[in-house]
Homo-oligomer: A and B are copies of this chain.
Amino acid sequence: MTAALPDAAARAAQDPPNGAEVLVRTLLANQVDVCFANPGTSEMHFVAALDRIEGMRCVLGLFEGVVTGAADGYARMADKPAATLLHLAPGLGNGLANLHNAKRAQVPMVNIVGEHRQGHKATDSALTGDIEGIARTMCDWVHTCSSADHIAQDAAAAVQRANSRPGRIATLVLPADTAWTQTRNRQPVVLAPEPPTLPSDQRFDAALKALRSGENTILLLSGRALRAGALEDASRIAQRSGARLLAQYANGRIERGRGRVVIERTPAPVDQGVAAFRDARHVILVGAKVPAPMFGYPGKPDYLMDPAATLIELTQPSDDLPAVLKELAARLGAADAAPLLQPEAPLPLPDGALTPDAVLQAVSALMPQQAIVVDESVTAGRAFFPISRASAPHDYLQLTGGAIGDGIPMAVGAAVACPGRKVINLEGDGSSMYTIQGLWTQARERLDVLTIVFANKGYKILKGEMANVGAGTWGARAEQMLSIVNPEISWVKLAQGMGVEAAQATTTQELLRLLRHGLAMQGPFLIEVQLA
């Protein structure tokens, strides 16, 4: 009844390796060298393999939403997938909301989900569940490995799929016996990414026709069309044609700030969103979706465009968006046009009451070059985009799927991907509480993350939505469901409890002092902003 296999340390020196070792070597051979993990029993051989093989950075999350959110933030900045390590169906379930956000950010990710050994699943023991069924609701590629002999091929296929444009989520389910069984297929498989595509001439011609029409045209951008170089080509097109640039409301990453192309986002509130598109006769989509409000409201439209306007879907998901914009600029004869770049402009420090906009002003003025701003501030940070237009060049990452709880983890992943760059996480108080455990990982890994919690003491966005959906005024019972006072939360204590230095700002002067401190130091720091 005792284990029949030799001790792992002894086996490590032997041939052949087990499936877990081949898996780790295959991930490394395919340039996947960071693993965000929350392991359980079924993943112990993978953990043991990580221990024996050099080259994989392992980052522990105390909750799976931290793991998948970190992999989201990592991929947005690294432009390649991290691996995640998750435990069976409930572990994947806990990671699901941030897989949703990651899917909407179109990032590459490779999930390794441990499963019972083949044969044990039939016992329906306590942790048995429908892993593939859960994974399919959020992932582009789902496969259960059937043998240690197939692991190299399966893992390479997962990474290949993840790296296919625009970035996809691949989930490899790993029965414990495929990890612990030895295999002679020891050679890592490396698969080249699927090559990105370009639009047909027909699609280019449709876009060119709109751009040359002299009519009001919007170039609606998302995905990798929002990187600095691609935006310069987009701006050349706009400058030459008179078209207007607009980003989707939610995007995985935008490179912006002074010296970079000026671009606005589609407004979130439905009425403003409709107004932004009202005069457009043509809307050209480059990596963007048909613009729609976040929710359907009574008596309000489900799409933002004027129904009479022309929709031109220039790109498809497999397209190389920067190449598309370069080609479109060339075909338009705009390759030599000068892009419209954000000039230097004063960034005054705030000096009045400690309002949300005062915080945004302070951050915009003080952020260093190449900061990474992770924005999950929901209502409080709504004005960040206009206020920070002339800030130092930075990357702007935002909540893409509307599932709050991605901010703190995303900051973890961005910091792991970009050592040497400051990560600034603008965080709503309500949203922070979904994955607050991510602060511990920031402390353990000494990640250079400054978290700013906007303590407005409630789900402020929902109070607005009560009116938007026509539910009208509300009383004490609803207020209890929309507020997070009674008791008030101390984010300072929560952060300190997880090893993150933290302090509270109750005035603008305190905020400025703490902000300067947090930006100057290395490592995680949290500021709890008690809003006026």
- Interface residues of A, Cβ cutoff 8 Å to B: 1-5, 7-11, 37, 39-42, 44-45, 47-48, 50-52, 58, 60, 62-63, 65, 89-91, 93-94, 96-97, 100-101, 104, 116-117, 119-120, 122-127, 129-130, 133-134, 136-138, 176-177, 180, 249-250, 271, 274, 289-290, 292-303, 400-403, 405, 430, 433-434, 436-437, 440, 443-444, 461-462, 465-466, 468-478, 480-482, 484, 486-494, 496-499
Q: 8 extra interchain contacts, Cβ-Cβ under 8 A, other than A3-B468, A93-B138?
A: A5-B470, A45-B471, A58-B481, A90-B402, A91-B403, A93-B100, A94-B434, A440-B484
Q: Is the CB of A473 within 8 A of B402?
A: no
Q: Which residue of B lies closest to A118 (CB)?
A: B296
Given the interface pairs A41-B462, A48-B474, A488-B499, the reply to whether A1 lies near B97 with Cβ below 8 Å is no
Q: Is the CB of A90 within 8 A of B94?
A: no
Instruction: Kindly list chain B residues whose C-beta atoms are within 8 Å of the C-beta of A478.
Output: 47-48, 50-51
Contacts A/B (CB < 8 Å), 9 sampled: A4-B298, A8-B473, A60-B481, A62-B430, A90-B97, A94-B434, A125-B295, A443-B487, A493-B496
Inter-chain contacts of A122 with B (CB < 8 A): 302
Nearest Cβ in chain B — how far from A106, in angstroms?
Answer: 12
Most chain B beta-carbon contacts within 10 A, residue among A2, A90, A405, A490: A90
**A105: min CB distance to chain B, Å:** 10
A499 CB contacts on chain B under 8 angstroms: 487-489
A137 in contact with B129 (CB, 8 Å): yes
**Inter-chain contact A2/B299, CB cutoff 8 Å:** yes
Measured CA separation A63–B126 after assembly (Å):
24
Contact of A44 among B123, B444, B462, B497 (CB under 8 A): B462
Q: Does the CB pair B63–A481 fall under 8 Å?
A: no
Complex: A51 Cα to B63 Cα, angstroms: 34
In contact, B97 and A474 (Cβ under 8 angstroms): no
Q: Which chain B residues border A489 with CB–CB below 8 Å?
A: 440, 497-499
Selected contact of A491 from candidates B90, B133, B296, B497, CB within 8 Å: B497
Is A295 in contact with B41, judged by CB distance below 8 angstroms? Answer: yes
CB distance from A473 to the nearest CB of B (A): 5
Question: CB-nearest residue of chain B relative to A464?
Answer: B41
Beyond A39-B481, A90-B97, whether A3 also contacts B297 by CB under 8 A is yes
Q: Which residues of B contact A293 (CB under 8 A)?
A: 123, 125
Cβ of B37 and Cβ of A471 under 8 Å apart?
A: no
Q: Are B3 and A180 in contact (CB under 8 A)?
A: no
Within the complex, the shortest CB–CB distance from A2 to chain B, in Å, comes to: 7
Contact B3 A470 (CB under 8 A): yes
A442 CB to nearest chain B CB (Å): 10
Is there contact, CB below 8 Å, between A137 and B138? Answer: no
Beyond A47-B471, A472-B8, is A296–B119 a contact (Cβ under 8 Å)? Answer: yes
Contact B94–A41 (Cβ < 8 Å): no
The CA of A405 and the CA of B402, in the complex, are separated in Å by: 24
A9 in contact with B50 given A39-B462, A129-B100 (CB within 8 Å): no
Leading 10 A-B pairs by shortest Cβ distance: A487-B499, A120-B296, A93-B96, A493-B497, A8-B472, A90-B403, A123-B292, A4-B299, A117-B296, A90-B97
